[in-house]
Structure 1
Amino acid sequence: MRSFLILLALALVASSCGFRKYVWFISIGYGTAIGLIGVGLLALFRDSLTIGTASQCALLVVYGCRLAGYLVYRDAKTSYNRRMKGEIKSDDGVSLAAKVGIWVSASLLYVLQTSPVLFRLGDNRDTDALCYVGLAISATGLVLETTADLQKNREKRERPGRFVDTGLFRLVRCPNYLGEMVFWTGVFASGLSVYGNAIELACSILGYPGIIYVMFGGTRRLEIRQDKNYGDDPEYRDYKSRTPIMVPFVPLYSVKDHKWLVA
């Protein structure tokens, strides 16, 4: 419990940037919190780390730094802010109480997401096959989302007024969100052999579906925005009709009508 509370405190500190701009609670603050949690795990359990658990913690740090760095860079671009004007609710419409609620609930989710690593370290479990399987899955997810972001940035520089349908975007329309889901699937899978009680299992079960829900919510917002921007383009409509929105080879082409995805 002590380690869990320390990680929660780190997540709260890292994501407090959202009080400046509330969307940062779940964007820049998200990446910063995951990175800081990774650092916290390395510090808290420095005397009992194995190659596997140290690699898991390091991967969280790399994941968080990459995501936060990318989002800071994107947010600093004048063209991005101009394009998103009117798409994101301004801070003026968000009360302090609502901001506190988002801050606390998001920070708790970030700790729950990383809890499989915490439980392995806290219970002094040895590195096993599932740890390495989870590492491989998470690393694959990190490569996927990094590649997708790089491909999208390149295409937007060359053809700023067009949707992206090259590279990984031929496989799914939201490969960066797919990479996120694969990353956290690896983290969850790595802990399947270490949950020592119902509380640990519940924490992990809450964390994993929680971030999957958030990713589908982000996908819905993106689809609505793309339909608004490109809906009159026959090429876009054809691309949308034949390319799954999130999961390869699964014929799910739209989620915008699923209003329960409001994350």
Structure 2
Amino acid sequence: MNSFFMILVLSLFASAIGFYKYVWFISIGYGAAVALIGAGLLVIFRNQLTIGTLFASILFILYGCRLAGYLSYREVKTAYNRRMKGEVKGNDSVNFIAKVGIWVSAALLYVLETSPVFFRLVNHKGTDLFCMIGLIISLTGLILETTADLQKNKAKKVNPRRFVDTGLFRLVRCPNYLGEMIFWTGVFVSGLNVYHNALEWICALIGYLGIIYVMFGGARRLEIRQDKNYGNDPEYIAYKNSTPIMIPFIPLYSVKKHKWLVA
């Protein structure tokens, strides 16, 4: 359990950036925490790493650095903050106790998300088929969300006032969130044969289902924002009514009315 708390401390340290700006607990701090957890796994378990766990830890670093870097760039170089004004709480509207609660719960979620790799290392499971399949799924998700972000940035440079419906956005309206879910699905799958007890299963499930919930919550916020910005555009209405919001070929076109998706 000492190694688990060491990983939690790393997650708390990285995500503490949210005390500077509230929303960073679940954005830049999220990416930084996952990257630092990956680095922590490499150091803490350096004597028992296998090819699979080595690459899984490196994937965490790549994932976290890409996410934190992209979000930092968006904060500095784009009008994202102006578009989000009023949609998320400001720093002054959240008291310190609430911030501490969000900080701790978010940091714990990040640890639980990465727990399948942690449990593989703790339980001395080597590189097997589940591990390799999980790595392939995660890598696919990372490539998908990276490509989606690049395509969106390119499209917005051409026409910043128009919604994006090109490239991967023809498949689903939130391909970056889809890539995120695929990434963590791979992490969860990689540990399906390593959990020794109910507690380990519960930790892994909470981490996996937690990030799926957060992604659908993010999709709901995006839909509300896009409806506000493009709701009178017939092309947007046609696009929204014909393109699934998150999962390809599943006719789920809206989550706007699902108020329980608060993330």
- Other structure's SS at 2:114 match: helix
Deviations 1:67-110 (A, max 9, x none): 00000000112522223223322111111111111100000000
How far is 1:24 from its partner? 0.2
Distance of 1:154 and 1:85 partners within structure 2: 23
- Other structure's SS at 1:111 match: helix
1:227 corresponds in structure 2 to 227
Distance of 1:65 and 1:52 partners within structure 2: 20
Give the alignment of 1:173-192 within 5 angstroms: 173-192=173-192
1:211 corresponds in structure 2 to 211
- Other structure's SS at 2:79 match: helix
1:46 aligned to 2:41? no
1:157 corresponds in structure 2 to 157
1:145 aligned to 2:161? no
Normalised TM-score (structure 1)? 0.99
Deviations 1:144-200 (A, max 9, x none): 000000000000010000000000000000000000000000000000010011111
1:64 corresponds in structure 2 to 64
Deviations 1:218-245 (A, max 9, x none): 1100100000000000000000000000
1:27 aligned to 2:27? yes
Distance of 2:152 and 2:163 partners within structure 1: 9
Which one is further off, 114-123 or 80-89? 80-89
2:253 corresponds in structure 1 to 253
Give the letter for the 2:40 counterpart: G
Give the letter for the 2:210 counterpart: G
How far is 1:46 from its partner? 0.5
Give the letter for the 2:230 counterpart: Y
- Other structure's SS at 2:147 match: helix
Q: How many residues align?
A: 263
Give the letter for the 2:182 counterpart: V
* Structure 2, gaps ≥5 residues long: none
- Give aligned-pair identity as a percent: 70
- Other structure's SS at 2:121 match: helix
Distance of 2:33 and 2:232 partners within structure 1: 39
How far is 1:126 from its partner? 1.5
Which one is further off, 161-170 or 196-205? 196-205
Distance of 2:75 and 2:136 partners within structure 1: 30
Distance of 2:145 and 2:229 partners within structure 1: 23
Normalised TM-score (structure 2)? 0.99
* Runs of 4+ with deviation above 3 angstroms: none
2:122 corresponds in structure 1 to 122
- Other structure's SS at 1:92 match: helix
Distance of 1:148 and 1:25 partners within structure 2: 23
- The Cα RMSD (Å) is 0.7
Give the letter for the 1:245 counterpart: I
Give the letter for the 1:213 counterpart: Y
Distance of 2:208 and 2:3 partners within structure 1: 19
* Structure 1, gaps ≥5 residues long: none
1:104 aligned to 2:104? yes
Give the letter for the 1:133 counterpart: I
Distance of 2:150 and 2:117 partners within structure 1: 28
